[in-house]
Chains A and B, each alone.
Chain A
Amino acid sequence: MPGNILGSEDIILSATGIDKVFPGAKALNKVNFQLGRGEVHALLGENGAGKSTLVKCITGAYRRDGGRLVLDGVDIDPRDTFEAQRLGIGTVYQEVNLLPNLTVAENLFLGRQPRRFGLVDARAMNRRAETLLAGYDLDIDVKAELSSCSVAVQQVVAIARAVDLSGKVLILDEPTASLDAHEVEMLFAVVRRLKTQGLGIVFITHFLEQVYAICDRITVLRNGQLVGTREAAALPRRELIAMMLGRELGDEIKTVAKAETEEGPVRYRFSGYGRRGHIAPFDLEVRKGEVVGIAGLLGSGRTETAEILFGAEKADSGSAEIEGKPVELTSPRAAIRHRLGFCPEDRKVDGIVGDLSVRENIALALQARRGWARPIPRAEQERLADQYIKALDIRTTDREKPIRLLSGGNQQKAILARWLATNPEFLILDEPTRGIDVGAHAEIIRLIENLCEQGMSLIVISSELDELVAYSHRVIVLRDRTHVSELVGEAVTTAHIVEAIAAGEKQGASR
């Protein structure tokens, strides 16, 4: 293999012939993976390719069914993640796995607090926490509750803890999925620093720009098989995508001009709609077949806007109209009755019902709307499930598999299917492409465009501005929980959005 250019003394972690079988599926088939010292190594592949599974086999979260693991020249067989940590392998997941209501320092030293006379020495702990975080250029109050920090800071705290505990290998499984561009930069600075310290870093992501920005080598998996390991610099993007998908991808994002915005009648009108402490009152109009994009930094009120439109949070001011008739959208149920749908951002907490099957998860919203007394016949549920598994290419062994066993991206697609199955007229998508692979990404964007051609109205929240620009007729920019500007038609460009987001940092809110 052209990628294997490292001498054996430079290799810190080597996995050879890793096998992992789940009932009904072979998730990993003789996968080889080699991580060098001071290297950032991307692990890429479609949703369900086996990336997380490989990582879990390395960290002992799963027992591998075959293969060898060598860390620093020594064979290892970690029984659980704690053992892996002791051996030197730390992991940070997409969902921060810390305790939100403990302080930053407590989170850093949980289970190994410095003690004095048998009691936790809080002062020493805080001091050590400050020194530790200073090494990451992070100057925060370590006595503050973790939940009061931004997700990015939490992510860095998680990394600091993992590195401090382990110190040889750091595995990052989609750590950037919920970060904005600025925060990603901050994270990368940390990663670069660790790299110079000689750590081997595994980086899983679906953002290919990030791969090229920071990674030295790339290993691609497909259907549990190793496709290959390459130098990042020598692997053009197009080729990389072909490796991942096993086929060429057309235009990743269709940047051609979207269908003409029909100046049709306004179908949904929200006036002075807001909720104190969540989102300042705003006016919003959505036409039939229109895609309205929502942009803004994390915490700018994007999700809050979605929740209030859908009735997940009750508005305490303003009014809503559908086709001129006033409506009360006071609960998700009411919203669904008016044919709204909402695909939430945090799929684990707000989306999936883990122990239920893929079929049941897809049928859930439709069933809820029909009411308990009119069950969807089993055959019909199966038809629905099969239809969407096929349409959205949800990778699962069968539709009866509990959804929690699906890979992250495939869970995301199943939630989307849940809403499409209700045949909504107005769909709110909060980060619909998060954690979704390049191939599916393009599919979902095509889907959004198709839906709006069929006359559906959409609101799409996304941190990926290119994408937003590609399909939105209009983009609303949020800052500090306030709708600050609205870009229409020609004005919808990445540059304009960035400008609008940044404007507040120079001047106050403008409209």
Chain B
Amino acid sequence: MNALKPHLIRLAPQFAVLVAVVLLISLAFPDFLKLQIQNGRVYGSLVDVLNRGAPVALLAIGMTIVIATRGIDLSVGAVMAICGAVAAASITSGHSLVYTLALALAVGLLCGLWNGILVAVLDIQPIIATLVLMVAGRGIAQLITEGAILTFNDPGLIFIGSGSFLGLPMPVVIWLVFGIAVTLLVRRTALGMLIEALGINRRASTLSGVSTGVLLVAAYVLSGLCAAIAGIIAAADIKGADANNAGLWLELDAILAVVVGGNSLLGGRFSIAAALLGALIIQSINTGILLSGFPPEFNLIIKAAIIVLILVIQSPRIRDLAALFGRSESAEATVKQEAK
């Protein structure tokens, strides 16, 4: 319990915001909280939030790590499109499901490796390095699908998008499991601390013997893997690879999720759980807007307004202000203690 406490404190603001957003929506639309079992799966708007949030949640996992290294990965949306296209192309040309998945994931890893090498070895600024693949990637995906939506009917691949496991949609299961796995990987080993050290002060970390180059590459490779999974899910969801639209602008939502999760774009300390909460906050807002029935012209304005509000609440200035009340108390406490 004691060991958990700092984590809970870290996640408290994001949790509070999520609860607030969900409550706000359910005020306007009471059925939002309703869950029912239908055909052996849980059905309701909350499940939709978890399900539709899957791509951004997955991207946010990798993006959190990349941002922790003081980088950024703009290519994830394009990598999603590439991997979705690869999966669709492979399955329609008769390859097995296992082969198809392995191939798509491998392509994602490769994309990540490319980014990682540009950043770590050639020392190109991450924003520029990943911009290359962001721009070129969609073209590559279009080349694979030949500009059309490549549809497929393989039940196995479709299951990943719309099947269910223990009553939950597969995408939800996948991002939950993957999120937990990556969290355990970085927190049960020393990776987390080494990545944070690298993000805060790369030179000092290198001088302390941290393999900063390898870690950097690994971060982008992980991000590529996350994008590949997200791409497969997105394609499986609509039974087709849409090179033009799959993952379009999702890199921005992923970055936003990381930031709404209270992670600093300047790198260093990170929390994957908080970024996942950030992804859910964003998706709740999206789903809430759709349910609200406002004309679509307002979608972006509403979303922007809510997010600005969240970021303002999280800003250090406001936190300082809030801490002001707490601090004068603690100051008194110290003085009293000393008096004793």
Contact = CB atoms under 8 A, between A and B. Distances in A.
B196 to A, nearest CB: 6
Contacts, number: 85
A181 interface: no
Given A21-B334, A333-B211, A367-B194, A353 B205 contact: yes
Interface string A324-360: 0000000011011000001010000111111110001
B200 A364 contact: no
B70 to A, nearest CB: 11
A351 B204 CA distance: 5
B305 interface: no
Contact of A353 (B200, B327, B334): B200
B297 interface: no
Contact of B190 (A312, A336, A353, A374): A374
B96 interface: no
A82 B259 CA distance: 30
A375 B207 contact: no
B203 A364 contact: no
Contact of B204 (A336, A349, A371, A375): A349
Interface in A63-119: 65
B255 interface: no
Contacts of A360: 193, 197
B292 interface: no
Given A23-B330, A355-B268, A375 B190 contact: yes
A441 interface: no
A365 B208 contact: yes
Contacts of B196: 353, 355-356
B19 interface: no
Contacts of B334: 21, 26
Interface in B188-210: 188-191, 193-194, 196-197, 200-201, 203-210
A332 B207 contact: yes
A418 to B, nearest CB: 7
Contacts of B194: 367-368, 372
B268 to A, nearest CB: 5
B207 A367 contact: no
Given A355-B268, A367-B193, A372-B189, A336 B209 contact: yes
Given A355-B269, A356-B196, A369 B209 contact: yes
Contact of A376 (B190, B197, B206, B207): B190
Max chain A CB contacts within 10 Å: which of B193, B204, B208, B327?
A: B208
Contacts of B209: 332-333, 335-336, 365, 368-369
B331 interface: yes
Nearest to B191: A372
Given A353-B197, A356-B200, A312 B189 contact: no
What 3 pairs between A and B have smallest CB-CB spacing? A368-B209, A336-B209, A375-B190
12 contacts: A65-B331, A310-B207, A332-B207, A335-B209, A351-B207, A353-B204, A356-B196, A364-B193, A368-B209, A372-B191, A375-B193, A376-B190
Given A310-B207, A335-B209, 13 more contacts: A21-B330, A65-B331, A344-B204, A349-B201, A351-B204, A352-B201, A353-B204, A360-B193, A364-B208, A365-B208, A365-B209, A368-B210, A374-B189
Interface of B: 188-191, 193-194, 196-197, 200-201, 203-211, 268-269, 327, 330-331, 334-335, 338
